[in-house]
Chains A and B, each alone.
Chain A
Amino acid sequence: MRTIPVKIWIMICSVFLLNGCWDTKDINHRSLPIVMGVSMFGDQYKIHLQIPDPDPDTMQVKIVTEMGETVSKAVDKISANMESRIDLLHVKVIVIDKELAKKGVKDLISGFMRAREVSPKALIVVSDEEIEPFFTHLKKTTDPQGTTLFDFFDKDAGWNPQIALTRVWQVYRSIHSYTRDVAVPIIKSGDSTGVEHLGSAVIKNGKMVERIETDETLLVNAFYEESTYGKVEVMDEATVMIVNNTMKHNSEIIDQIPYLNSQLHLKVVLLETKGNPTEKEIRASLEKLLTNRFNEMFTKIQESEADILGVGQYFRTKIQREKLKNWRSKQYPNLKMDFQVHVVIQNEGQLKLVAD
């Protein structure tokens, strides 16, 4: 007699367990966009979604557009007009119009974080041209899976060290953080390639305030010890490949003025030379090139009071939290930065260099 109730228990249990999902929509009733484009017209958001459309024979990429007061409103409208439900779970790249970036993306980013529809890991990118032509071009050049843009930023695929990688949560952090801003890649549709990388937008408190070049973004990445592996530097004397980079920082406050000494240690491999430079010359030239480039960039971002390098972090032990709130406006503009590059030529390839 004892076994019967147990069986019934188990059956009832499994009925409840199997009902664990509510209102489920099957995967073939869902559309999973990969890229989202956001621009603003007046007080309306305009949303572009790039949706791979799996056909039995060929994959097609669809682009749908809608306007709305908020992003979710626009997405809702698209959803209502489509045969399947839009599910933003797999959005990998969010392209923001330059004008919107200049106006500020605080609400947009907070919305993404709050609703959790879009993964906080999605990448944020600024488009230098209007979203409309950008997406049209993307559709033309993109591969059937529609992952071109995502692959472009994927570390295991098309990513290069001069491209900044910034995710939704990092932009959100920069909006609330006292000491940290972000660099976001700027792209436009390319002529021969699908996308063209133009450098980075400096986003301070959710607003785009400055632009930096591709080469300067490399230094930002180096500052964060994002591997610059494989990056080729061209100088007058030679071309080298960077194989390793590490950073060291030393911060000090003297008479209320913050001083930061940062040392970038690079290991490079020699690829090509012009004429007969010595090892010393190549090293000196590379060090000079990078130092000048860094100083130029740093002056620019310091003037815009945007701390994309997170320099303020190194002063956390030295400045009280109360004062740290005004880091960007009070202390950061006075910061004296001493940037040094130390280059080690790891090897010079198959050929010997001229002796010193």
Chain B
Amino acid sequence: MDRSFHVVLMYLLIHLGLIFFLYPNDIISSSDEGHWMPIMIGFLVHFVFLWIYMKGLSFFPKKNIIDIYSEIGKGISTFFLLPVFIYLLFVDIIGVRAYSEIITIIFLSNTPSWAIIVLLLFISAFLASKGAEVIFRTGIILALVFFPIIFFVLIASFQNIDWYYLFPLIDDDFHFITSPYYLKSFSAFIGGFLFLGFVTPYLAYNRKKVLTAAMLLIPFFLLAVYIPVLTFGRSTASTFLFPYVMTVDSTYINWLMFDRVTMFFILCLITFIMLQVSLVLWMAYQIMNHWIPHKPVYNVLALAIGIFITSVMIIDWKTVEKLLWLNSFLRFYVIFTVPLSIYFIGRRREGRG
């Protein structure tokens, strides 16, 4: 059965969760002017690898990447899957830790972060242990409930913009490419689509629809960066840790319920993040299950406890930032090897058959 709707929604949710927190700061810090250029270059990379990945997967209907690699041989499958597994664990550890810190920075300043981590991990682990179908159906509920709020906040945040801050439009020396901030910003571009290779046995989807959904994300990437820049100007926006959250904070809606509209917005996005954490947990569990088969509950529980212990051991925001930076090497490695290897394995099989 065609479940493109589920897959496309999940794809959008995950990226929306990633776009609005760390991404604007990374892009604004990486470049002084013409921020659309780093955004579009990043998006192009995203789009190309997404296409290669899905093209490669289309050679193997109803098989996920674990099946594909194990077809080739045990050694090769470990060679490819081990980095992916470590990467996924890293994503979860950093994600859970970073977002718990974001929550304490933005509103729950008295709450110890372990309590938030427990909450984030517990719900995610519960979802992950129930399997892909449940995660995807939860995604639909979340999308229906929270998309309207996200759109409302997006429109409201246009309140204070000054279009003159758009200029200058061109940054002609391209120095942003070597900026560590720019490399970090790729977490929003390439962290999200690996799941497409894991769900194929459970949910069939149309490739074209996913590519269209990718195009739909362009405005969100641009808005997340440009709304803060247009409101505050680049020199002020670069002093914020979460420029977009600040912008939402400064919109004035004369209605008591929306006095702190930021809260609505952040809580919506945090649910998306929970969904992403559960999906990543589920993918890690799939790989683990391939090596050590167990019941999902035990595997996921073991992973969750491991993630909890590691993330509690990270004590400050500086370390989180350092880990984000270190993880970007692993991220680039995974994102180059996985789509390309799947594609070439598929092409070779096509040639033989």
Contacts and interface: CB of A to CB of B under 8 A. Distances in A.
Interface of A: 9, 13, 16-17, 19-23, 89, 113, 116, 119-121, 155-156, 167, 169, 172-173, 175-180, 310, 313-314, 316-317, 320-321
Contact of A321 (B122, B168, B259): B168
Contact of A22 (B115, B162, B167, B232): B115
Given A23-B110, A120-B246, A321-B168, A13 B233 contact: no
Interface string B110-138: 11100100110011001000000000000
Contacts of A176: 232-233, 235-236, 239
Contacts of A13: 122-123, 126
Contacts of B123: 13, 16
**Considering the complex of A and B, which 9 residue pairs feature the smallest CB-CB distances, nearest first?**
A22-B111, A313-B164, A316-B167, A176-B236, A169-B250, A23-B110, A173-B236, A317-B167, A120-B250
21 contacts: A13-B126, A16-B123, A20-B119, A21-B108, A21-B111, A22-B110, A22-B111, A116-B106, A120-B246, A120-B250, A169-B250, A173-B233, A176-B239, A177-B232, A178-B233, A178-B235, A313-B164, A313-B165, A314-B164, A316-B167, A317-B168
A79 B204 CA distance: 59
B318 to A, nearest CB: 17
B53 to A, nearest CB: 35
Interface of B: 32-33, 106-108, 110-112, 115, 118-119, 122-123, 126, 162, 164-165, 167-168, 232-233, 235-236, 239, 246, 249-250, 252, 254, 259-260
Nearest to B105: A116
B233 A121 contact: no
Q: Is the interface of A mostly helix, strand, loop or mixed?
A: loop
A9 B232 CA distance: 46
Contacts of A121: 249-250, 252
B240 to A, nearest CB: 8
B138 to A, nearest CB: 13
Contacts of B250: 120-121, 167, 169
Q: Give the interface centre of A116, A155, A167 by most chain B CB atoms within 10 Å.
A: A116
Contacts of B112: 22
A119 B249 contact: yes
Given A169-B246, A173-B232, A16 B119 contact: yes
A120 B233 contact: no
A89 B235 CA distance: 27
A23 B111 contact: yes
A173 B260 CA distance: 20
A217 B345 CA distance: 70
Contacts of B115: 19, 22
A316 B118 contact: no
A338 to B, nearest CB: 19
Contact of A16 (B106, B122, B232): B122
Contacts of A321: 32-33, 168
Nearest to A17: B119
A21 B119 CA distance: 11
Contacts of B236: 172-173, 175-177
B249 A16 contact: no
Nearest to A178: B235
Contacts of B168: 316-317, 320-321
Given A16-B122, A120-B246, A177 B167 contact: no
A9 B126 contact: yes
A176 B234 CA distance: 9
Given A9-B126, A116-B106, A316 B164 contact: yes
A144 to B, nearest CB: 19
A238 to B, nearest CB: 35
Given A176-B239, A316-B165, A317-B167, A22 B122 contact: no
Contacts of A16: 118-119, 122-123
A22 B107 CA distance: 11
B237 to A, nearest CB: 9
A353 B286 CA distance: 85
A248 B327 CA distance: 50
Nearest to A320: B168
A155 B250 CA distance: 16
Nearest to B250: A169
Given A119-B249, A177-B236, 12 more contacts: A13-B126, A16-B123, A19-B115, A22-B108, A23-B111, A89-B260, A175-B236, A178-B233, A178-B235, A313-B164, A313-B165, A320-B168
Nearest to A172: B236
B275 to A, nearest CB: 15
Nearest to B106: A116
Contacts of B249: 116, 119-121, 169
A167 B162 CA distance: 16
A312 to B, nearest CB: 9
A119 B126 CA distance: 36
The residue in B33, B122, B123, B164 that gathers the most chain A C-beta atoms within 10 A of its C-beta is B164
A178 B252 CA distance: 24
B126 A177 contact: no
B249 to A, nearest CB: 5
B286 to A, nearest CB: 22
Contacts of B254: 155-156
Contacts of B33: 321
A158 to B, nearest CB: 14
Q: Which of B118, B122, B123, B167 has the largest number of chain A CB atoms within 10 A?
A: B167
A23 B168 CA distance: 47
Given A13-B126, A120-B250, A177 B235 contact: yes
B203 to A, nearest CB: 23
Nearest to A316: B167
A177 B233 contact: yes
A121 B247 CA distance: 11
A5 B246 CA distance: 43
A221 to B, nearest CB: 15
B127 to A, nearest CB: 11
A28 B120 CA distance: 30
B258 to A, nearest CB: 11
